[in-house]
Amino acid sequence: MTRGKLQDRVAIVTGGASGIGRAIALRFAREGARVALLDISEQSADAVASEITEDGGSASAFRCDVAQWPEVHTTFRAVQERFGQLDVLVNSAGIAHIGTVETTTDEDFDRIFAVNVKGVFHCMKAAVETMKDRGGVILNIASVVSSIGIPDRFAYTMSKGAVLTMTYSVARDYVDHGIRCNSVSPARVHTPFVDGYLARNYPGREAEMFETLSRTQPIGRMGRPDEVAGLALFLCSDEAAFITGSNFPIDGGFLTLK
């Protein structure tokens, strides 16, 4: 019998109800993980969990606002009561914002910070509490904007820069506890968020703008969520046992070939 790369491991995937988080949850479950999908949309997370269980996998959905520490702490305990000790955490929950430093309001900045920075902080804090005596893997979804500036993304860039440096810090502090912590940095990935953004901002021109955004990657297209999930699987598996404190662009050449 072939065992999956994450066989019988307990994995939490935040933002697991859609996009990259959903793709990672599906891939991990196919590789034998018991997956807890944490999302602010319990209904959508339930749908993904059902998709996994109908395919023979193991998954449960948990409503959780990662910006709220009491919710995170309680939910992580509930996951471990349901599945057992945590082995893998993927921080995929995040929100976007368009604007420069001038057009970003205090409310905009605080909202992005609460989810994209404090949310990752809260979940890593909860994970480390249980992992530090037995080891584990943390993977954070950062972005190419962690390393390079792009127009009109001031608050989002701030938040993803923080995700990258928090990754380095946790990797350094807990390497002696057997915890590996890495990040991946996608460029544009075709998710429902992209489709919604185009529909809101370019009604009637969605196809045209989709091609324009796709061409910003030198490879000529957007990434697919399943491609990010493949990299996430590698980094969270034993195949990557010698990798910690590293960031992996998955960007169609965006950072190096522009």
Query: How far is residue 9's CA from residue 132's CA, in Å, rounded to a whole number?
Result: 16
For residue 52, give the nearest of 11, 3, 5, 85 by alpha carbon.
Answer: 11
* Whole-number Å distance between alpha carbons of 120 and 116: 6
Report the Cα–Cα distance between both ends of the chain, in Å, rounded.
Answer: 46
- Measured CA distances, 164 to 80, 171, 226, 239 (Å): 27, 11, 22, 22
Considering only CA atoms, which of 86, 100, 170 is closest in space to residue 135?
86
CA–CA dist 27, 152 (Å, integer): 33
Of the residues 156, 168, 174, 197, which is catalytic? 156
Separation between Cα atoms, residue 132 and residue 174, nearest integer Å:
7
What is the number of other CB atoms lying within 10 angstroms of the CB of residue 50? 12
Q: Let me know if 156 is a catalytic residue.
A: yes
> Tokens representing 69?
């520490």
Helix or strand or coil: residue 11?
strand
Helix orientation angle between 19-30 and 225-236, rounded to the nearest 10 degrees: 50
Distance CA 63, CA 49 (A): 12
Active-site positions?
A: 156
